[in-house]
Amino acid sequence: MNLPNKLTILRVILIPFFMFFILLPDYLKSGYVICDVMAALIFGIASFTDYLDGKIARTQNIVTDFGKFMDPIADKLMVFGAFLCFLVSESYAQYRYIFMIIVFIVLLREFAVTSIRLVAQSSGGKVIAANLPGKIKTVSQIVFVLLALLEKHIFSFSSFMSEYMPLTCAACIVMLIFTIISGANYIFSNREYLNTNK
């Protein structure tokens, strides 16, 4: 249980806390700004541990199979936690159908990638680490979540920015593009595990 793996576990532990702050205003009927800022802060710290654990593992040459396996799972739990909160929160009710589409596309990609990982591990014990497109996809998802939480408050002086959140919408499009590209790249790179003759 080296430092990178501890940071990965810390990331998982932080997930319920930012989910709590995203949903808290629905029960308090107030405190939207404070709760969104707290959620963004905790989510940002969790995201930073993702960068930090990978950097430490590579520079100190302590990459483990546990890290290769658990790191992408922690990323998925972190992002899905935020997406599901957006889906049910009254604060984002006007975007509910958009979030439904986002969650469906992201889930489809993750199920496909995870299935290939399981086949690879069961076939030859191979643990497939996240590739570059997958890392870019994760960064784009993190940026999207942070913007969704903060844009309407940062630009509260502009009714257009706070209501339509154009930066969040742009980040959403970029995120979906990289989600699809990284999923297609992952499947193509590991297509031998989809051989129907085996």
> How many Cβ atoms sit within 10 Å of the Cβ of residue 62?
13
User: The pTM is what?
Assistant: 0.86
Kindly state the percentage of the chain with pLDDT values over 90.
39
Burial 162-185 (b: 16+ CB within 10 A, else e): eeebebbbebbebbbebbeebbeb
In this structure, of 23-37, 45-59, 71-85, 128-142, the range with the lowest mean pLDDT score is 128-142
Structural domain of 96:
3-194
Name the domain count of the chain. 1
**Residue 117 is part of a domain; what is its CATH number?**
1.20.120.1760
CA distance 153 to 176: 24
Kindly give, in sequence order, each residue whose CB lies less than 8 Å from that of residue 182, ignoring residues fewer than 6 positions away.
109, 131, 133, 134, 136, 137
The larger pLDDT score, comparing residue 76 to residue 37, is at: 37
Report the mean per-residue pLDDT for the chain: 86
Q: What pLDDT sits at residue 174?
A: 92
In this structure, of 17-31, 109-123, 136-150, the range with the lowest mean pLDDT score is 109-123
Kindly give, in sequence order, each residue whose CB lies less than 8 Å from that of residue 172, ignoring residues fewer than 6 positions away.
98, 102, 144
**105 pLDDT exceeds 60?**
yes
> How many Cβ atoms sit within 10 Å of the Cβ of residue 39?
26
Residue 30 vs residues 34, 39, 156: alpha-carbon distances, Å: 9, 15, 16
Number of H helices, E strands in the chain: 7, 0
Which band of pLDDT confidence, cut at 50, 70 and 90, is reported for residue 47?
Answer: very high
Q: Where are the alpha helices (DSSP H) in 60-95?
A: 65-88
Predicted confidence (pLDDT) per residue in 143-198, tens digit: 999 999 999 999 988 888 888 889 999 999 999 999 999 888 888 887 777 765 65
